[in-house]
Chain A
Amino acid sequence: MDKPNTYRGGPNEHGHFGIYGGRYVAETLMPLILELERAYEAAKADPAFAAEMDGYFKTYVGRPSPLYFAERMTAEFGGARIYLKREDLNHTGAHKINNCVGQALLARRMGKRRIIAETGAGQHGVATATVCALFNLPCVVYMGQVDIERQAPNVFRMKMLGAEVRSVTSGSATLKDAMNEALRDWVANVEDTYYLIGTTAGPHPYPSMVRDFQSVIGEEVRGQMQNAEGRLPDALLACIGGGSNAMGLFHPFLDEPTVRIVAVEAAGEGIATGKHAASLTAGKPGVLHGNRTYLLQDADGQIKEAHSVSAGLDYPGIGPEHAWLHDVGRVEYVSITDAEAIAAFHQCTRLEGIIPALESAHALAHTVKLAASLGPDKLLVVNLSGRGDKDLDTIARLEGTTL
């Protein structure tokens, strides 16, 4: 594949990143997708929209999130200087809120009266329920029955915030099925409903819109690293399920040739066991949920269930821009098993006094490998995309205790 002039030019006017992306939705939704695209383009061009979003970022989300030098981790791993981008310190405890503020403001601009969302770990559901409380919009969150069981604290939070959590029992009863059910709701409620997708996936313009709202992460890192070290980082690291925290960190650096970029998929119980969520490592291109991208699927094109200890990575697809960045070779995609992520979860907690989300722990697990391979003069930024309070039940269960 030819090297493009820029890695930041996508998507094209059809919403394609190379052969990926697009608008693979039922005709009923197509006019809504086009309306959304027009509304987003108008908002993007309106300085008042950016100013409004900035205001909420500063005073409500708590941005900028710190870029923290992880001294003990750096000493322990013996290699690159490790910086953690503290998205876990955002209001609601993860990067998800950035996108929710942006999309809720857009929904309000569009005059939509009702918000729906899908959620896996519940982080996006909580963030959506939060902005809906803030903007006084009714909110319905679709969540797989399996995820409801393993993320009880987040379910309770959503309900307290006034959202209705609808349990999804179809299919594998996880994130992909929640997304199917949200799409079915949207088809039936086209007049007043805004579908607030939580990751850089779905039909155009969602992948690029969510990326834009999350790019505040990478933009901040650029300035913060300049202040701390006087130069660009040498490597970036983030976990990927759908890929929004990774894309938010990566996108502002894609055209910096000296910055090595690595994303970590969930290898679950191991790629060879088939029980994993590594779409790029072990999937192949296909079409699901509005976009062409890498998918976990069988030879007949039926979607396979993903598996990860981390509900937020438990999705059989990946954002289309990641699929493209994979094929053109700009970003390296690796995978980390449940066991490795859990070990990194404990290590980060004990070394830095930071309890990371199990999702982010996948990135931390690869930090050990990557930092050691880089010299001590190198700068490595890891996106600590969320905090781990929500995962305490899971960890306790694995250790045979109950809370």
Chain B
Amino acid sequence: MSGATRIERRFADLRAQGRAGLVTFLTAGDPDPAVSAAILKGLPAAGADLIELGMPFSDPMADGPAIQNSSLRALAAGMTLEKTLRLVADFRRGDDATPIILMGYFNPIHAFGVERFLAAARKAGVDGLIIVDLPPEEEGDLCLPARNAGLNFIYLTAPTTDDRRLPRVLENASGFVYYVSITGITGTASASAADIGGAIARLRRHTDLPVAVGFGIKTAAQAAEVAALADAAVVGSALINCLAENLDADGVAEPGLVKAVLSMVSDLAGGVASGRVRENAR
């Protein structure tokens, strides 16, 4: 697979291994840049197959309180898009295989400058982008330039994205498809396995891209259920809640924070691994 991105290579590997992947979401710079870098560095060994890194934004309209607060903590600690890219570059020095996907809202990239951002992201070792407020209707802003720059642009699809609309959403999607399993903000309700199964079957009729499922996956057991159906399970708010529980009253990281977050990642990875084994045994 020459020219394939790390994302494409990782999903090909997962398929070859007959298992689903774990995608972790954390906000870059939460609770501060140093602790964030330490977590990031430990994620692959803890079992994260792909890493989503949130670009902090002051007004995260599609996120629940966990990710809102996480964004605000990172901004208060002085995080910027420039520093997020530096965090990725530092990670890349020790890991050239684990895909990194930057996730967030368009305005910080708009302010940075699209061309400048794409060049810097590629140089830092970013593999893909998920931009919540850039639907295909606005693909000229970033999706098409990103693809030209060799980055995957991952689209979100939702329960409201019907069969008539799906082809439009998938038209320029690459890397994988992110299925938002509930109608709601991050870290709130959870979908049933039956609903997720039906949705994935519908998606697979429209695309050969791997399907990752996110929103509302909080436990290893839920991750296992999703892993039985999808190509990857995304966990964000639950990890961020774990991180937040390990902050002191002033919002400073307690000594055990990194270990606690990574141990939860291992737990979730175990769930994801067990999910497919069960499926294969059927």
> Given A23-B138, A302-B57 in contact, is the A286-B107 Cβ separation under 8 Å?
yes
| Binary CB contact string for chain B from 170 to 208 against chain A (1 if under 8 A, 0 otherwise) | 000000000010011100110000000000000000000
Stretch at the interface among B129-137, B228-236, B245-253: B129-137
Contact at A300–B111, with CB atoms within 8 Å?
yes
> What is the bound-complex CA distance between A301 and B75, given in angstroms?
11
User: Which of B144-152, B157-165, B258-266 has 4 or more CB atoms under 8 Å from chain A?
Assistant: B157-165
Q: Nearest B residue to A295 by beta-carbon distance?
A: B107
State whether the Cβ of A246 lies closer than 8 Å to any Cβ in chain B: no
- Give the number of residues in A that approach B within 8 Å (Cβ atoms): 40
Tell me which of B75, B109, B160 contacts A28 (CB under 8 A): B160
Is the C-beta of B108 less than 8 angstroms from some C-beta in chain A?
Answer: yes
C-alpha gap A29/B59 in the complex (Å): 17
Give A residues with C-beta under 8 Å from B. Answer: 14, 22-32, 34, 170-171, 176-177, 180, 183-184, 187-191, 284-290, 292, 295, 297, 299-303
B157 and A27 within 8 A (CB)? yes
* A184 and B59 contact, CB distance less than 8 A: no
Could you write out 12 A-B pairs with CB less than 8 Å apart? A24-B134, A25-B135, A28-B159, A30-B137, A30-B161, A180-B59, A180-B60, A289-B59, A290-B133, A302-B57, A303-B58, A303-B59
**Chain B interface helix/strand/loop/mixed:** loop
Contacting residues of chain B (70-92) with chain A, CB-CB under 8 angstroms: 72, 75, 80-82
On chain A, the residues within 8 Å of B107 by CB distance are 286-288, 295, 297, 301-303
B: residues with CB less than 8 A from A are 57-65, 68, 72, 75, 80-82, 105-112, 132-135, 137-138, 155-162, 165, 169, 180, 183-185, 188-189
Give the distance to chain A from B65, nearest Cβ to Cβ, in Å. Answer: 8
Min CB–CB distance B121 → chain A (angstroms): 15
Shortest CB-to-CB span from B236 to chain A, Å, is 15
Give every chain A residue within 8 A of B183 (Cβ-Cβ).
Answer: 28, 187-191
Residues from chain A with Cβ under 8 Å of B63 in the complex: 184
A137 to B134, CA, bound (A): 32
- Which one of B61, B82, B160, B169 has the highest number of Cβ atoms from chain A below 10 Å of its Cβ? B61
Question: What would 19 more interface pairs be, CB under 8 Å, given A28-B183, A30-B137?
Answer: A23-B135, A23-B137, A24-B138, A27-B158, A28-B159, A30-B160, A30-B161, A30-B165, A176-B59, A184-B64, A189-B183, A287-B105, A287-B107, A295-B107, A300-B82, A300-B111, A300-B112, A301-B81, A303-B59
Residues from chain A with a CB closer than 8 A to the CB of B108 are 300-302
Chain A residues within an 8 Å CB radius of B62:
26, 28, 183-184, 187
Q: Could you tell me if B185 and A188 are in contact, using CB atoms closer than 8 angstroms?
A: yes
Given contacts A287-B110, A295-B107, A302-B75, contact A27 B184 (CB under 8 A): no
